[in-house]
Amino acid sequence: MRHLWWYLTVTPLATFGIWATSLIVPSFPVLAPVLETPHSKTVPFPEAKSLQELYQIRDRLQADLAKRQPVLISSQTGTATAPTELLDSLQAVEIHIQVEESAKQSWNDAIRFANQATALKSQADDSEESAKQAYTLWKQAMDSLKEVSKDSFMAAQAEAKRKEYENNYAVAAYRYDTVRSGFLKAIAEKTGMASRVRVTVCNMQRECRRLRGNEPPASPASLIKVPVAVALMAKLDEEKINPETKIMVSRGNWTEDAGKIWVGSEYSLKKIMLDMISYSGNIATNQLIDYVGRDYINQVLRDRGYTTTTVRTKLVGQSTYPANLGTPPNVMTTDELTDMMVGIYNQEHPGDDLILEGLVNQYDWELGYEAVKRPAVWIGEKTGQNSKVLGSTTGVNIQGERYVITVTIDYTASEPAVKTVIQGVVEYLVKNNGFGGNTAAPPAEG
């Protein structure tokens, strides 16, 4: 074994590059002998399927090295001769072992954190501290699984476990955000109709606060036009359709609140979509529902994780019903609509830039636009109103940080009430430099 000690003492790890060398090369290069490499032949790496096999290969290589003659060091040149193939293999195995041992430790940490989070569930209450503990543990479990190297034996196992934990992590993150949303209740109470208010506000990293954000309002009204636009852009991208492609607007889609699109004429898909968003045109909306198809729209929404928002019916004006109206009514939540808007502002999908163009050119300035005052800056909006609901989803920029605020109030036409909520949220964000306190990461995507 004394021979092996000499090999490992005098032979630097230069063969394995800067990373490996930096671990053992002294600060004074003159003290490190130069490894003579008489050939450039690549030594095949011994195959292994487990950490235990790597240990066995390392033991075998160390035993082989121990049988060799001691390293010869020239007193004149400081050059060492060594069996480079064995050393190369041994060093490669050592590095692989380090990767696997690290992966195993990360895996064990993830399981430990998850077990602690599961045990905590039986003791959980409605307090912020309890929600924070659960969220922190699930986040640590997810982060630990992400640290498992993709080159390790455990990579596939870690990825499967990560997917298994995703829902628990998402639930914990949602709960942690929600318990810190008490300020929204106080804001809603100022309207005098707090029980009918739903509000969700998120930043671009998808940290959110909410009040009944997962409960559908009495109706989505024209706010449903955002998911229709989202599905349209998905279809154009999937089928490689140019947004400038023109289609005929069917006479059967006529109804009041026409916007600037008329039946019996051809318009580009882009123009129809912009009319739907900027001018809230019902004819444009009904035509796009026909063009994209209800099934396709709802499949896009499900694929993106929106389990509640559903487009089933076309939009009706004051009294005129379009052909093929559909049933039952459309559904959405402020949580899901806000998340869609965040995706649009982040431009996460092809065509989001076109939808954003419609939002920033919104013609209706009576709600969000009027509510947002300096130092906040209004950066786009979609409004919605019918006999069952009044609402807005508004983009704001506060000191360089962007947010989306979605508010609906059931069975009211009170614009001051909606503006009160938006103003209250903006004032809170300005005063607290955002949400304040610790932040929860966004739920993992399925």
Same domain, 149 and 277: no
Domain presence at residue 64: yes
Q: Is residue 440 part of a domain?
A: no
Q: Answer yes or no: do 38 and 155 share one domain.
A: no
Q: Do residue 298 and residue 389 come from a single domain?
A: yes
Q: What is the structure's pLDDT at 83?
A: 63
> Residue 62: what pLDDT?
86
Q: What tens-digit pLDDT sequence spans the chain (446 residues)?
A: 444 444 444 444 333 333 333 333 333 333 333 434 444 445 455 578 888 888 888 888 888 877 876 566 666 665 555 567 777 888 888 888 999 999 999 999 999 999 999 998 877 677 899 999 999 999 999 999 999 999 899 999 999 999 999 999 999 999 999 999 999 999 999 999 999 999 999 999 999 999 999 999 999 999 999 999 999 999 999 999 999 999 999 999 999 877 899 999 999 999 999 999 999 999 999 999 999 999 999 999 999 999 999 999 999 988 899 999 999 999 999 999 999 999 999 999 999 999 999 999 999 999 999 999 999 999 999 999 999 999 999 999 999 999 999 999 999 999 999 999 999 999 999 999 999 754 444 544 43
Contact 407, 197 (CB under 8 A): yes
What separation in angstroms does the CA of 223 have from each of 243, 327, 329, 361? Answer: 22, 18, 13, 16
pLDDT at 75: 62
Distances (CA, A) of 253 to 268, 278, 387: 16, 19, 21
Tell me, yes or no, if the pTM score tops 0.85.
no
Last residue of a domain, one of 50, 70, 98: 98
Identify each DSSP E strand in 315-399 by its residue range.
377-385, 389-398
Query: The domain that contains 128 carries what CATH number?
Result: 1.20.58
* Domain termination site, one of 179, 194, 209: 179
CA distance 421 to 424: 5
pLDDT digits (tens, 9 = 90+) for 139-192: 999 999 999 999 899 999 999 999 999 999 999 999 999 999 999 999 999 999
Is there a domain that residue 408 lies in?
yes
Check if the beta carbon of residue 226 is closer than 8 Å to that of residue 340: yes
- Residue 51 inside a domain? The answer is yes
79 and 141 assigned to the same domain: no
Rg of the Cα atoms in the chain: 31
Domain extent at residue 159: 108-179
b/e burial code for range 393-423 (CB count within 10 A of at least 16 → b): bbbbbbeeebbbbbbbbbebeebebbbbbbb
Other beta carbons within 10 Å of 48: 18
The answer on 153 and 204 residing in a single domain is no
Q: Within this chain, do residues 55 and 92 fall inside the same structural domain, yes or no?
A: yes
| Same domain, yes or no: 137 and 189 | no
Q: pLDDT digit string (tens) for 112-134?
A: 999 999 998 877 677 899 999 99
Q: Kindly state whether residues 279 and 353 are assigned to the same domain.
A: yes
In a domain, 196, yes or no: yes
Domain count, the chain: 3
Domain boundary among 164, 179, 194: 179
Verify that 89 and 121 share a domain, yes or no: no
